[in-house]
Amino acid sequence: MCGIVGFTGTQQAAPVLLEGLKKLEYRGYDSAGVAVMDKDRIAVSKVTGRIASLCEKTGQGKAVPGTTGVGHTRWATHGAPTEENAHPHLSNDGKFAIVHNGIIENYLELREELTGRGYHFESQTDTEVIVHLIEMYYRGSVREALIRTTNRLQGSYALGVICTEEPEKIFAVREASPLILGIGVGENFFASDVTALVSYTRNVIYLEDGEYAELTPDSVRVFDCSGRILDKEISRVTWDVRAAEKGGYAHFMLKEIMEQPGAVKATIEPRLKNGKVVFDELGMTEKDLRSIRKIVITACGSAYYAGCSGKYVLESLCRIPVEVELASELRYSDPLIDSHTLLIVISQSGETADTIAALKEGRERGAKTLAIVNVLGSSIAKLAGMTVYTWAGPEIAVATTKGFTTQLVVLYLLAVYFADLQGLAASVYAQLIASLQALPRQIQQAIDMNPSIPELAGKYHGSSSLFFIGRNTDYAVALEGALKMKEISYLHAEAYAAGELKHGTIALIEEHTPVIALCCNWTIMEKTMNNIVEVKARGAEVLALSFRGNQKILSAADDFLFIPDTDPLFSAVTEIIPLQLLAYYTALENGCDIDKPKNLAKSVTVE
Ligand code: F6R
């Protein structure tokens, strides 16, 4: 959701900025722009729509001279996606250009004040107040003007600024919105995430809330709000540049689906040592665990569904009550959370605004907090008391796949770890470890054993509604399967707990209504099979998802998806694979923009 980049060096800035913006496209946007310092003036180019149009407008950036600049992709919040509202925004005197991620909550009162002082507004954005404040406070030092400006702002921001008075510099500051500095040789950068930086440098500084940065081609200085220089650690990005490229696949989503055996392996392997689950990053003792009376899991979207699935595993292995709450609800619910609560927050991006707010709420109430996060150095990773990384590598497609399955696997590992702290029989423990170790191979099998998915997508892609049903963990997977279908194929898809059908939903089942029935839980298989019979009696077309060896299902349904024999506790991670592929091929049939579905953003940094 919005992306910013900044560059200062000796090569032409605009092509570098455009390359960076292309890498941020996956975050979601509807307009884009760059501002480049050209001698003593700032040249701005903006477009609505795709970066490709901005590249065309600027001759791939070559038509824009200058070696210092900032760029932006905007996902409209305040004001429609028009050129006027696209960033960068200029000050009235033309000396400053800014790009901004986030939302300024008090912009209306600031706008009124600035209008009263004679400042003229070109856009409807909240952002524009910032550039006029900077102009108003400027007395010869951009850094000082920036500090005075940010003192007036309420909300979230990652800001990039250039100024004609200090033409080789780019300035940056962040508050509750991601911003990373890239340290090059004779050139320096900033960006909303590392994917925009890795083709230029792997040395990065993660800026923290309330920190300001001043970059020239040869220097990077970071300050706090009193102007004191901070000694920041330079981190090295270890993943390969190719990890953020399509590598021959038609879409990032397909590539990321196929990467799941490796991603899950990368999540599990470092946590298994000598046949035991180890979490060096937690440092939890049996006594700590005994003080926990309940676990609350909170997250948004797919991460929330990972939590719904994890609840069954945690409760089953640890016998600790687990509540799962949407972060957007928890933050406003006066939750029953205290120092005896373990609050687990789950987030691929680590930047989801609602999840951050729920985490802060939990901290304030004294809960122990544990974050399951993919993006290194992200806000949630830093805010939580304990952080467990999923190590899935960069996830570029907006619809999460490997992000989700690695979150599931961390929850499984945690459940086994906690159960062991409480005392597990050696034979049970050994069996669980063996089941975990088998998952990467079983995920690969789940990919391989469903060659009919493109054909099934051909059959179902024109449906007006699809229903996903299941019980317990099957139900949690049904929720995620339906979300995948909705977000990328734009088909209406709903998930129901199979036992709930009779209480209303069955009224919607008619001739040829597709029902995707998840039957991967042996203990309640018969119950879901009964539901299959019920919907078939009303004319539904049933696509059943079950274990390869389940003979009974073959006579009950019309079409089939299979998973290998997976430990039923952990089967969600194999079950979701065919559903991801079904959503992918259905979206392909429907000609959708699979990696960048309409209206969606990868990292939802606004409420
Ligand atoms: C769906 C999807 C979203 C995210 C949700 C939370 O495919 O990607 O539902 O799961 O926006 O995002 P994170 O995990 O970054 O907090």
pLDDT digits (tens, 9 = 90+) for 244-301: 778 889 999 999 999 999 999 999 999 999 999 999 888 788 888 889 999 999 999 9
Nearby residues of 225 by Cβ (< 8 Å), 6 or more positions away: 147, 150, 151, 210, 212
| Residue of 1, 300, 347, 599 to mutate, ligand 1, most atoms within 8 A of C-beta | 300
DSSP string, 197-262: TTTT-SEEEE--TTEEEEE-SS-EEEE-TT--EE-PPPEE--S-GGGGS-TT-S-HHHHHHHTHHH
Question: pTM of the entire structure?
Answer: 0.85
In ligand 1, the atom with minimum distance to the C-alpha of 603 is 15
Q: Judge if the beta carbon of residue 348 lies within 6 A of ligand 1.
A: yes
Sign of CA dihedral 277, 282, 288, 294: negative
> Is a pLDDT exceeding 90 seen at residue 601?
no
Q: Judge if the beta carbon of residue 487 lies within 6 A of ligand 1.
A: yes
Q: Judge if the beta carbon of residue 347 lies within 6 A of ligand 1.
A: yes
Q: What percent of the chain has pLDDT over 70?
A: 100
Q: Judge if the beta carbon of residue 400 lies within 6 A of ligand 1.
A: yes
In ligand 1, the atom with minimum distance to the C-alpha of 304 is 10
Other C-beta atoms closer than 10 Å to the C-beta of 140 total 8
In the numeric block, which tokens belong to residue 372?
């399951």
> Is a pLDDT exceeding 80 seen at residue 605?
no
In ligand 1, the atom with minimum distance to the C-alpha of 305 is 10
| Residue 440, pLDDT score | 97
Q: Which SS3 state, helix, strand or coil, does residue 367 take?
A: coil
Q: Which of 396, 4, 405 is nearest to 213 (CA)?
A: 4
Nearby residues of 501 by Cβ (< 8 Å), 6 or more positions away: 469, 509, 531, 534, 535
In tens, the pLDDT along 183-205 reads 999 999 999 989 899 999 999 99
Residue 409 CB-half CA count within 13 A: 36
Domain ranges of the chain: 3-238, 247-444, 453-589
* Section 531-552 average pLDDT: 92
| Residue 76, pLDDT score | 84
Edge-first strand listing for the sheet containing 3-8:
41-48, 31-38, 68-74, 3-8, 188-191, 180-183, 203-206, 235-236
Nearby residues of 56 by Cβ (< 8 Å), 6 or more positions away: none
247-444 fold: Rossmann fold (3.40.50)
Q: Judge if the beta carbon of residue 349 lies within 6 A of ligand 1.
A: yes
> Is a pLDDT exceeding 70 seen at residue 1?
no
Chain centroid offset of residue 227 CA: 33
In tens, the pLDDT along 476-493 reads 999 999 999 999 999 999
The architecture CATH gives domain 3-238: 4-Layer Sandwich (3.60)
Provide the residue count of the chain. Answer: 607
In tens, the pLDDT along 12-69 reads 999 999 999 999 988 878 899 999 999 889 999 999 998 999 999 999 999 999 999 9
Ligand 1 centroid to residue 149 C-alpha, Å: 32
d(CA 451, CA 536): 25
For atom 10 of ligand 1, which residue has the closest CA? 302
In ligand 1, the atom with minimum distance to the C-alpha of 301 is 9
In ligand 1, the atom with minimum distance to the C-alpha of 302 is 10
* Section 380-400 average pLDDT: 94
Task: Give the angle 67-73-77 at the CA atoms, nearest 5°.
Answer: 140
Ligand 1 centroid to residue 403 C-alpha, Å: 9
| Residue 384, pLDDT score | 95
Residues 502 and 469: beta-carbon distance below 8 Å: no
Q: Judge if the beta carbon of residue 374 lies within 6 A of ligand 1.
A: no
> Is a pLDDT exceeding 90 seen at residue 597?
no
The CATH code belonging to domain 453-589 is 3.40.50.10490
Q: What percent of the chain has pLDDT over 90?
A: 82
- Could you check whether 3-238 and 453-589 share the same CATH topology? no
d(CA 230, CA 213): 10
* Section 89-100 average pLDDT: 97
Ligand 1 centroid to residue 300 C-alpha, Å: 6
| Residue of 330, 352, 488 to mutate, ligand 1, most atoms within 8 A of C-beta | 352
| Residue 4, pLDDT score | 96
Ligand 1 centroid to residue 24 C-alpha, Å: 16
In tens, the pLDDT along 214-244 reads 999 999 999 999 989 999 999 998 877 777 7
Q: Judge if the beta carbon of residue 301 lies within 6 A of ligand 1.
A: yes
* Section 304-332 average pLDDT: 96
| Residue 585, pLDDT score | 97
| Residue of 348, 483, 486, 603 to mutate, ligand 1, most atoms within 8 A of C-beta | 348
d(CA 193, CA 181): 9
Residue with tokens 């390969």: 240
In ligand 1, the atom with minimum distance to the C-alpha of 349 is 15
What is the rounded average pLDDT for all residues in the chain?
A: 94
472: phi > 0 → left, psi -120 to 50 → alpha, else beta; which?
A: left
| Residue 255, pLDDT score | 95
Residue 2 annotated in active site: yes
Ligand 1 centroid to residue 324 C-alpha, Å: 16
For atom 7 of ligand 1, which residue has the closest CA? 399
